[in-house]
Amino acid sequence: MKSRLLFLVASASVLAATAHAAGKLVAGPMLGYAAHRETFIWVETRDARRVALDYWLAGKPETKQTIEKDRLRETIVGGQISHFRPGLLEPGAHYEYSLSVDGVKQTFPYPLTFQTLPLWEWRTSPPDFRFIFGTCAYLNEPAYDRPGQPYGRTLETFRHMADSGADFMLWGGDNWYYREADFDSISGLWHRAQHDRAQPAYQKLFAVMNHYATWDDHDYGSDDSNKGFEFKDETLRIFKAYWGNPGYGEADNPGVYHKFFWGDAAFFVMDNRSYRDDDYLGSTDTREMKTQYGARQRDWLKQSLLAVQRLGHFTFKFIVTGGQVITDFGGRTETFAYFQAEREELLKFIKEHHITGVIFLSGDVHFTELAREKLTDTQWVYELTSSPLSAGETKFGQGERARDPHRVEGTAVDDQNFSLLSIHGPKNDREITITCIDKQGVKRWEQTIKAAELK
């Protein structure tokens, strides 16, 4: 009897150990936001009981600290998403870290490190840094794609991005594409985010630099979605689960809009879907101004621009939004051409309040270009449109787009590509160098904008 009891106990232990060992890493780690004394690390697992993050100052393992997650909730598609926020870190420091799932240390073909932002304000000149901007990342899944040629053209772009040496990546929308099989059910929506995030082509990119994101129609809902999309509350939950932004809208005005700072640049990341009127709604069909952002978000942007302008630390102010702002192709694309009063109000505000250093970052249109518009005799605003990362491209032909007077000559690219932006130079002579790099790693064009042009 005693032997049988020992056998049963041993068998139960083996079964428990087997179940414990079943936990696996689905995707990640991904670095989210970075601050002077904090950062964000994202991980998705399946069938795990515990996920642990060990981190320490680079080269100083004796400083190791540990964060554990042992109450892992499953999403509707079986994933377990963990958000780690190591805090009270040293500013301007490099850290190493490791990740364990159910006590098993995970291995990767690249080092796991993160950085905090240097405390340069009132102390030194602003630090030089580089970041990537891009939009429209379509990853094929044949069972649910439309018939014919796959819309996802390449994964090579992401490899070149991972090897670029950039400090962070800014995803400008259409970061995944909901299909017809996705956007009419909650489970379909969660599946798309999980499927794309787990792709091997992404893993190094997500691990080697920080990431910030906004959305456009395809990762918000169906094509050309407006504020009436029926599952917008759920897609907001999904976006919050899968991205590590420092904030999401306001408590009484939900959305994905937020701001963050890196060096002497401020980034205002807009939500052009949650409060968007339909593109074809006439201006006389609504009591208020026809809008992409809604009155509350518009006011948030204005107040944030004024606050940053008065702080005086920030040479450049990037306004990130899904559709193009400056250019106007007769209202045939999802641009501010549909929202002319809102565009005029925004540009007028920038001009009248002397907001300097403004550059718009946009996407959606499946081609890349640099455009500019003169606000005053001495002040320009620029717009970098960067698209697509991997989705199908839009060809210019000989139409209106090919003759756009706002475009800086030689900057049109109708192939898969990304933009690398480098902010550099002495304190009183800062400049931005923008490099467009295609899916083969070839530099297609390079332009430098001096801060003096934006004042």
Q: How many CA atoms lie within 13 A of 39 on its CB side?
A: 31
- What sign has the CA pseudo-torsion 177, 343, 258, 286? negative
Amino acid at 78: G
8 Å CB contact between 281 and 273: no
Give CA separation, 125 vs 121, 218, 314, 421, 428, in Å: 8, 40, 12, 19, 9
Please list the ranges in the chain whose pLDDT falls under 50.
1-3, 5-19, 330-331
Sequence-distant (6+) residues with CB within 8 A of 341 are: 283, 289, 290
Neighbouring-strand partners of residue 38:
87
Q: How many CA atoms lie within 13 A of 279 on its CB side?
A: 16
Domain ranges in the chain are: 24-115, 129-454
Give the helix/strand (H/E) hosting 257. none
CA distance 301 to 324: 17
pLDDT of residue 15: 47
Question: Coil, strand, or helix at residue 245?
Answer: coil
Neighbouring-strand partners of residue 369:
385
pLDDT of residue 169: 98
Residue indicated by tokens 């994905």: 256
Q: Which letter, b or e, does each residue of 71-94 get, where b requires 16 or more Cβ atoms within 10 Å of its Cβ?
A: ebeebebebbbbebebeebeeebe
CATH placement of domain 24-115: 2.60.40.10
- The single-letter DSSP state of residue 126 is P
CA distance 211 to 172: 11
Question: Coil, strand, or helix at residue 33?
Answer: strand
Residue indicated by tokens 């948030």: 300
Give the helix/strand (H/E) hosting 12. helix 2-20
pTM: 0.94
8 Å CB contact between 382 and 370: yes
Task: Give which of 426, 355, 358 is closest to 126, Cα–Cα.
Answer: 426
Task: Give which of 139, 111, 129 is closest to 169, Cα–Cα.
Answer: 129
Residue indicated by tokens 């796991």: 112
Q: How many CA atoms lie within 13 A of 182 on its CB side?
A: 27
Q: Is 11 left (phi over 0), alpha (psi -120 to 50) or beta?
A: alpha
pLDDT of residue 286: 74
pLDDT of residue 287: 74
Neighbouring-strand partners of residue 39:
34
CA distance 47 to 78: 8
8 Å CB contact between 355 and 303: no
Peptide bond into 29 cis (omega under 30): yes
8 Å CB contact between 298 and 291: yes
Task: Give the length of the chain.
Answer: 455
Give CA separation, 265 vs 113, 139, 299, 362, 431, in Å: 23, 31, 20, 17, 11
How would CATH label the architecture of 129-454?
4-Layer Sandwich (3.60)
Residue indicated by tokens 């001495």: 378
Q: Which two tokens stand for residue 404?
A: 């756009």
CA distance 359 to 371: 10
Sequence-distant (6+) residues with CB within 8 A of 33 are: 39, 40, 210, 212, 244, 245, 246, 260
